[in-house]
Structure 1
Amino acid sequence: MDNGKIALGATGVEIARLTLGGNTFGWTSGPEESFEVLDAYVAAGGNSVDTADVYSAWAPGNSGGESEKILGRWLAARARTSGPGRDEVVIATKVGVHPEFRGLSPENVAAACDASLKRLGLDHVDLYFAHFDDDSQPVSAMAEAFSALVDAGKVRAVGLSNLTAERMREWADYARDHSLAAPAILQQHYNLVERKAFEGEYMPLAAQFGMVTESYYALASGFLTGKYRSAGDIAANAARGEAAQRYLTPEGLAVVDALADVAGAAGASPASVAIAWQLAKGVGSPVASARVPSQLVALFAAIDLKLDAEQVAALDAASAPFA
């Protein structure tokens, strides 16, 4: 894998070209499987792990924080062995929709950060994201709250996710004008079947303010791997397949066919091609999760897979209905 890292402005934080999503930890992956995935990800050269305080409150019997707890246990276990040190792994988490910490009021942001640090067993996180917007709060208050966490040494860099581009721009402007910790990274929904907002609004915004971009649902809940081509395929994997249901359209399946064609010519998997396309489009670090270590192979292969202009154009054309 290309081990080149991406610097998040002047924050001192550098992330890998592929970020490991932690939404599966405590949901479709138990602690042992999660540890195996984390070990394999770091062994392959990855350093950036993305979670959120709400992961995985949606799963029966869970209340939120399960992913952070597993990640914290993994970090503690690695510290007792010859595994990577804390400074070698970039930990990102998010605030905004945990059942006990909803919203982005300054008080809630501070309390939620402390709760996340406790679950993770850390004294700071590298990236702290506003997970979803809170339109009851002025942008100025949110920007001040996140910057205060940086000043307190609890957060190294600020990230934004799922705010409108207008509110992100207002945040970045306010931070610049008031000498606060500016947003260094934005994370939005983006893939071959979700292109319009990211390409039209968020990429230009990131370029304007020097923010690194991350994309979540990089494989469209598994749809872009090619494993979901019918309602029967969805039903066979009910835990995660349901989210891919909406892409089972002629237009969506045409994208899967185009991926298969490019993958065949490149000697790669559709998953690798789907992520390589994002990198070719300028995404800094796609976020993708893996339930078991074997699923990481295709993800990492994407980093070294350089699509040519003709291949990118073919995928652009096939996914044009989503642009």
Structure 2
Amino acid sequence: MTALGTSDLDVFPLSFGGNVFGWTADRDTSFAILDAFVAGGGDFVDSADVYSAWAPGNSGGESETIIGQWLASRRPDGVVVATKVSKHPDFRGLSASNVRAGAEASLRRLGVEAIDLYYAHAEDPDTPLEETVAAFGALVTDGLIRYPAISNFSAENTREWVRIARELGVAEPVAVQPRYNLVDRTIERDLVPVADELGLAVVPYSALASGFLTGKYRSSDPAGQASPRAGTAASYATAEGLAIIAALEEAASAHDVSVASAALGWLRAKGTVPIASASRVEQVDGLLAGARLELSADEIASLDAASDAYAATKV
């Protein structure tokens, strides 16, 4: 188990990404996936109020609704639920009114008394940060959320959020959620040091780089791939990108796990609690294995080297 920053949230070191619920996984499949995740030891589920407004026929909130229905049906003990605000079509931005209205709508869909971890989903240049920080603090004071968190914020604005929270005397964030994986390590230069300094958990999304780090995509041509993420994944399939897959395969073979498990194991070795999702029940075991994998120092160094070589081509 892993403590999330300075909070009392002690979780299995992998968060299940609920962006698939109501999008690539229907209600019954979503229930089965969540059942398998919890049966395997998982207890941390991530969502957002906007999931999955982009899918035909959806308007946002579908993921939270399915999670809420599952929680009501199963009544599992100790499941930590995270969600986010600022991108739902009805609650765009981080004004105080949006933050509260978004939280209230998420609470109704999730059917919980309080949201365990509530993220500001993205920076809002149109709203003073002081207003947003105070709004999140008020949600904690009023019992709507347990802890604030930040997603997609720069290192500078992460530090500024904490400074303002301390100045106002309101609850500080306990976690940051950035993009981070073996093909995108930019946060190591700035956000990771700030998170370490401020005691913030790093809960990265895109842990498997849109599926590329599962080893499924070996061609830069996405043609013929049914996945909605195929185009993004295929863009990583350069010679240097495929060298990362080769290093993952070597580590995975040594531990008798999948390539995806090895990619998640690397993120765990970096001290993070990664988010990963699956659209099929049979994929869940591989995610859980990644959270338990202990890579050797040599394996981590090999993956770092392959990742550095890939990054050098993007400069």
- Return the offset for 1:234: 5.6
Asked if 1:33 is matched to 2:29, the reply is yes
Mapped to 2, the partners of 1:170 and 1:36 lie a distance apart of: 41
Deviating more after overlay: 152-161 vs 259-268: 259-268
Asked if 1:47 is matched to 2:43, the reply is yes
Aligned residues: 311
Check the 8 A contact 1:7/1:14 in 2, yes or no.
Answer: yes
Mapped to 1, the partners of 2:223 and 2:190 lie a distance apart of: 31
Check the 8 A contact 2:222/2:234 in 1, yes or no.
Answer: no
Superposed, 1:1-323 pairs within 5 Å as 4-9=1-6, 11-79=7-75, 84-85=76-77, 88-196=78-186, 198-231=187-220, 235-283=224-272, 285-320=273-308, 321-322=310-311
Mapped to 2, the partners of 1:107 and 1:171 lie a distance apart of: 18
Identity %: 49
1:37-76 CA distance string (max 9 Å, x none)? 1111111111110000000011111111100110111011
Question: Tell me, what secondary structure is at the counterpart of 1:216?
Answer: coil
**Cα RMSD after superposing both structures:** 1.4
Mapped to 2, the partners of 1:160 and 1:272 lie a distance apart of: 26
Check the 8 A contact 2:222/2:231 in 1, yes or no.
Answer: no
Mapped to 2, the partners of 1:60 and 1:202 lie a distance apart of: 35
Check the 8 A contact 1:8/1:14 in 2, yes or no.
Answer: no
Mapped to 2, the partners of 1:311 and 1:8 lie a distance apart of: 27
1:139-185 CA distance string (max 9 Å, x none)? 11111000100001000001100111111110011112221100100
Question: Tell me, what secondary structure is at the counterpart of 1:183?
Answer: coil
Mapped to 2, the partners of 1:64 and 1:154 lie a distance apart of: 20
Check the 8 A contact 1:235/1:241 in 2, yes or no.
Answer: no
- Return the offset for 1:233: 5.7
Mapped to 2, the partners of 1:162 and 1:269 lie a distance apart of: 29
1:190-220 CA distance string (max 9 Å, x none)? 0000102x21111111111111110101001
Gaps of 5+ in 1: none
- Return the offset for 1:124: 1.3
- Return the offset for 1:231: 4.7
Question: Tell me, what secondary structure is at the counterpart of 1:263?
Answer: helix
**TM-score of the superposed pair, with normalisation by structure 2:** 0.95
